[in-house]
Amino acid sequence: MIKTFSTKSSGKREIIRTFTFILCLLPLINLIILLLFDGLGVNPIEFVIRDLGDWALRFIILVLFMGFLLNMPKFKILFTIRRMVGLFSFFYISLHLSSYVILDQFFNFVVIWEDILKRRYITLGFLSFVLLLPLALTSSDQSIKRLGYKTWKVLHRLIYPAAILAVIHYFMMIKANYTEPLIYAIILCFLILSRISKKFFYS
């Protein structure tokens, strides 16, 4: 009886994981379709960098929002997919960075380094990437065991400053229409405040 139940629920989890995986790939598939059908507009390189940057940030916010929902018993199922969504955020960040390095700068690392030092929004994007790197590298169960759950959890709080830097990176590079970064900033403030209040009330 117990066996049937656990097989059923692990089957359900597998379906949810597969469905999430496909959903997370949709932004990339959409970009490839646009590329194949000449839909990237007059400045295709800028379009690609910006689209991947948008999705990188959306995925980070989504992971944080999932963390918020996980406080409610109803949403415990999200444990099944949170790590995958987190890894997808890093996947889109890596594509965003690669498209800048390859398509925009043609691997000219001297210019890239100058950009990181001189252009403030690139400096912040780079810092955000540096903060997210250890999170992606320690996402496995073995890393949790090796570091110990407490240390691992503290390390993974780096996602908050990384998300703040990414939102500022977005704000600094646009010249008009601040609506989208403003929405992300408001959601992020809410998530950070709810995290702080949870710590304050329950610790």
The 78-107 contact track toward ligand HEM, x by CB under 6 A, reads: ---------------x--xx--x-------
Pick 13 or 50: Cβ nearer ligand HEM: 50
φ, ψ (nearest 5 deg) of residue 157: -70, -10
Q: Is 50 in the site for ligand HEM (CB under 6 A)?
A: yes
CB of 177 to ligand HEM, least distance (A): 10
d(CA 165, CA 187): 14
Other CB atoms within a 10 A radius of the CB of residue 79 amount to 11
Whole-number Å distance between alpha carbons of 203 and 198: 8
Site for ligand HEM in 52-81 (CB under 6 A): 53-54, 56-57, 60
The site map against ligand HEM for 110-129 (x = CB under 6 A) is: ------------x--xx-xx
| Cα 133 to Cα 177: distance, rounded to the nearest angstrom | 30
Name the nearest CA neighbour of 31 among 23, 22, 21, 40.
40
Stretch that binds ligand HEM, among 5-13, 27-35, 45-53, 185-193 (CB under 6 A): 45-53
Footprint (CB under 6 A) of ligand HEM, residues 170-199: 170, 173
Q: Give the orientation angle of helix 120-137 with respect to helix 149-156, to 10 degrees.
A: 160
Contact stretch for ligand HEM (CB under 6 A) within 11-19, 143-151, 168-176, 186-194: 168-176
Long-range contacts formed by 25-32: CB under 8 A, 24+ apart: 27/51, 27/52, 27/55, 27/92, 28/92, 28/95
Number of residues this chain uses to bind ligand HEM (CB under 6 A): 21
Q: Which C-beta is closer to ligand HEM: that of 43 or that of 71?
A: 43
| Residue 52 identity (one-letter amino acid) | L
Q: Which is nearer to ligand HEM, 34 or 144 (CB)?
A: 34
Binding mask 126-155 for ligand HEM (x = CB under 6 A): x-xx--------------------------
Do 181 and 121 touch, CB atoms closer than 8 A?
no
Rg (CA), the chain: 19
- Positions in the binding site for ligand HEM (CB under 6 A): 46, 49-50, 53-54, 56-57, 60, 93, 96-97, 100, 122, 125-126, 128-129, 166, 169-170, 173
